[in-house]
Structure 1
């Protein structure tokens, strides 16, 4: 299958807003090239395995979304165009420029690799692309990853927030449900922290990629990858449910949590841009949750919640 790459150059403060446009259109992959983020990773030591050379800081980011060139492409591009026009009207001071090219599948899968390098998350998680070499430190939990055409490399703030929370709250023997697993990175991390995991995604490509990464990390005895409507293919109840998706989908999932999350369980909701955080917080409380933690990174929000009074409603 051929793919259409749409690249939107936008002022740095508009990066998450443009990314959210792509997510709402069901993009199976979104990449962000942010020189400021790159610099922060290099300076913090998170990316201490690679020399990126001189980086030009322009005050803009390039957000790329990928669409299959199928019967729905025209409608999706028209909707995206409307969304971009609305951004230009609402934020006239932003730089917003869009262009698109067609890619063969093999080009799609490799175009972003220059920006995916080994990265440390939290205290002991080390994400290692399969094509990179690295020497782990004692106690490191190494996640071998080839995301292919599925979302989730660990470099995006939404995924980083989830990984940091999982490192803090997962206990050996717990059951974790990962809704919208993408590359499987969160499911694999939970498994390596000692949990049993059901990882679910609607997209066939994501399911294939997630299963490959589960096998690569030798956690297939702990992680079951399922394809289906998020929240409806799962049996039983989990100690932790993760949804690293977007605000609208999280709100749609809330009724399912009454069935799949234990009374004493915790819910991690991520992938939420700051302007939508108030909607998600209200939805969580209306569904019977109390907010334990609200964490922000680069304009993205994660909520950690549990049933109010520790009782499912």
Structure 2
């Protein structure tokens, strides 16, 4: 089978949204070439040797996806361009937005793309491992097995990795957790492995729920996590000690309207997916509902903010 490589040069802000478009078109995997991330690896000491130079231009991210060359390809390419234009129309910065396509030699992309995904340790204890790699956990490390798929969230993006670091500190044994906009289910899985016992994972996109369930079963946490389609917390039940919302600023702002009804007394809201330009908007919305900032982290143009109800 022949494959078409679709590549777009875009911004950090648009990365997740474009990945979702690719996935909706049926791409098996999405490759994100982020010079900021490569710089981090070069300076982290994780590589014994590399001749890759430090990038000086880090604003442009290149995203690639691979679609089968068949009778549906032209329509999918047209849809991709239309969806990218729709993002621009909604005010999302896409620039430079250069889209290119090329046909690859006949090869098994379903195996070839795996070279881009490896075991990562985004926190102090949590290790994210794809199924095709072997890893022997050290000391108190906790391994989550997760393959890249149609639902966003594998632990490498700054928004997710910041959440993981905070979950290591926030999750207490036996606590109740709501994961709003669960994506791949990664944060729910981590909460379960850290000791939470009653977790409700919800997402507006019903198509991701099957993937979430598969990921729960792969990690043997399906007995403590329930999965449901929900617009924010419309379909969650009771009050949680911890609400996780790794989504986008506009949705987090809407979430505050429902928070009092679903967050326990002295409970915590952990938010991420907030671009730096929208930090003040989210904090102001929180304040208007009586919530104050407990902790704020920033990485690569994104923010992760923890809130609690003010006395």
- TM-score, reference length from structure 2: 0.80
Residues 193-243 of structure 1: CA deviation (Å, up to 9, x unaligned)? 100311111223321111111111111111111122221110001000011
- Residue of structure 2 in register with 1:134 after alignment: 135
Give the unaligned 5+ runs of structure 1.
none
Tell me the distance in 1 between the aligned counterparts of 2:164 and 2:196: 14
Alignment of 1:101-112 (within 5 A): none
Provide closer, same or farther for how the CA distance between residues 102 and 296 of structure 1 changes in structure 2, counting only shifts above 3 A.
farther
Deviates more, 1:183-192 or 1:197-206: 197-206
- Residue of structure 1 in register with 2:272 after alignment: 270
Provide closer, same or farther for how the CA distance between residues 134 and 21 of structure 1 changes in structure 2, counting only shifts above 3 A.
closer
Tell me the distance in 1 between the aligned counterparts of 2:42 and 2:12: 21
Tell me the secondary structure at the aligned position of residue 156 of structure 2.
coil
Q: Shift of residue 55 of structure 1?
A: 3.8
- Residue of structure 2 in register with 1:22 after alignment: 18
Asked whether the 8 Å contact 1:150–1:183 carries over to 2, the reply is: yes
Give the unaligned 5+ runs of structure 2.
none
Asked whether the 8 Å contact 2:20–2:152 carries over to 1, the reply is: no
- Residue of structure 2 in register with 1:167 after alignment: 168
Q: Shift of residue 156 of structure 1?
A: 0.2
Tell me the distance in 2 between the aligned counterparts of 1:181 and 1:21: 15
Q: Shift of residue 171 of structure 1?
A: 0.4
Tell me the distance in 2 between the aligned counterparts of 1:248 and 1:63: 24
- Residue of structure 2 in register with 1:77 after alignment: 81
Q: Shift of residue 150 of structure 1?
A: 0.6
- Residue of structure 2 in register with 1:216 after alignment: 218
Provide closer, same or farther for how the CA distance between residues 206 and 52 of structure 1 changes in structure 2, counting only shifts above 3 A.
farther
RMSD: 3.6
Tell me the distance in 2 between the aligned counterparts of 1:233 and 1:73: 35
Asked whether the 8 Å contact 2:144–2:189 carries over to 1, the reply is: yes
- Residue of structure 2 in register with 1:258 after alignment: 260
Tell me the distance in 2 between the aligned counterparts of 1:210 and 1:108: 23
- Residue of structure 1 in register with 2:288 after alignment: 286
- How many aligned residue pairs are there? 294
- Residue of structure 1 in register with 2:208 after alignment: 206
Tell me the distance in 2 between the aligned counterparts of 1:109 and 1:202: 28
1:157 and 2:161 aligned: no
Asked whether the 8 Å contact 1:176–1:198 carries over to 2, the reply is: yes
- Residue of structure 2 in register with 1:187 after alignment: 188
- Residue of structure 2 in register with 1:32 after alignment: 32
Provide closer, same or farther for how the CA distance between residues 295 and 228 of structure 1 changes in structure 2, counting only shifts above 3 A.
same
